[in-house]
Amino acid sequence: MRYDCNRILARSILLDGLTGKALLVNCVEVFGRRRTLDAHRESFRTKNGRSTCTSIPPEGTKYKNVYPTTITDADSTKLVIGTKMFNALVTSSLRLDALFDPEIGPGTASFDLRDSPQAKNTAIFIKESAWKAAVEIAQNNNAASIIPYDLIYQLRQLRTRFHQQSTYFLCRASNETVDNLAARLYTIYTLAEWNNVNDNADYRTTSKLFRTIAINVICGNPRLEK
């Protein structure tokens, strides 16, 4: 499910039925709900006796068990599409109804769904070609990625728990418009590919190391050869 849902949502358009705001989703990262499945799941811990914000769908949403909403944490204001099984973090987007710069990264400030009525009335439009591609993935019992090429670009941008296998799930998808080497967002695994820097820059070396680790995990080889 993680692959086909990525394929669908990365090409979707969100329409706020109350304000008329429209947002094109360019890139999305999917996270599982359960601790045993995804080390980077959304947290449900209480803080100061109060539960934290959640993307778990409440009753009365426009689509059953689907809930686009805004969650604010210590890092940023995030746009998340929540379901019972997973939540999808929007990491690149573009407003369609007004002139805004594209937003890149985990924060989405131009499309705020913190208000519950807005979130519950937000429509999600799915591209037909994305739906057909997702159906093909869903019918393939051996599917291990969203697309069969550039696997390293399908890794989520994460900062912790690199010892956990779920950190290396291929759960990051891009819209067709930005699904190329020149337009994709960089991650710790792909930053070494950035052209505007010296070949011996420290961060390129670090990025290459993390990429080597990731490739070994993806290929089923948990050891690095010296």
The answer on 222 and 115 residing in a single domain is no
The answer on 108 and 214 residing in a single domain is no
Q: Is residue 158 part of a domain?
A: no
Q: Which tokens in the block code for residue 84?
A: 């019972």
Any residues with CB less than 8 A from the CB of 193 and at least 6 apart, and which? 181, 186
Average pLDDT of the residues of the chain: 90
Is residue 117 predicted with pLDDT exceeding 80?
yes
Q: Is residue 221 part of a domain?
A: yes
Most confident of 2-11, 13-22, 200-209: 13-22
Q: Is residue 140 part of a domain?
A: no
Q: Is residue 7 part of a domain?
A: yes
Containing domain of residue 102, as a range? 2-44+53-134
Q: Is residue 60 part of a domain?
A: yes
Please state the pTM of the whole predicted model: 0.90
Q: Is residue 102 part of a domain?
A: yes
The answer on 192 and 86 residing in a single domain is no
> Which of the listed residues 70, 105, 134 is the one where a domain comes to its end?
134
Which one-letter DSSP state was computed for residue 40? T
The answer on 82 and 18 residing in a single domain is yes
The answer on 223 and 130 residing in a single domain is no
Q: Is residue 171 part of a domain?
A: no
- How many other C-beta atoms can be found within 10 angstroms of the C-beta atom of residue 173? 30
The answer on 94 and 30 residing in a single domain is yes
Q: How many domains does the chain have?
A: 2
pLDDT of amino acid 53: 81
| pLDDT single digits (tens) 10-62 | 989 999 999 999 999 999 999 999 888 899 998 876 666 666 788 999 999 99
CA angle, residues 211, 217, 223, in degrees to nearest 5: 95
> Which of the listed residues 134, 152, 178 is the one where a domain comes to its end?
134
The answer on 190 and 124 residing in a single domain is no
In Å, the largest CA–CA distance within the chain is 58
Average the pLDDT over each of 77-81, 164-168, 175-179 and give the range with the smallest value: 175-179
| pLDDT single digits (tens) 56-114 | 999 999 999 999 999 988 778 999 999 999 999 999 999 999 999 999 999 999 999 98
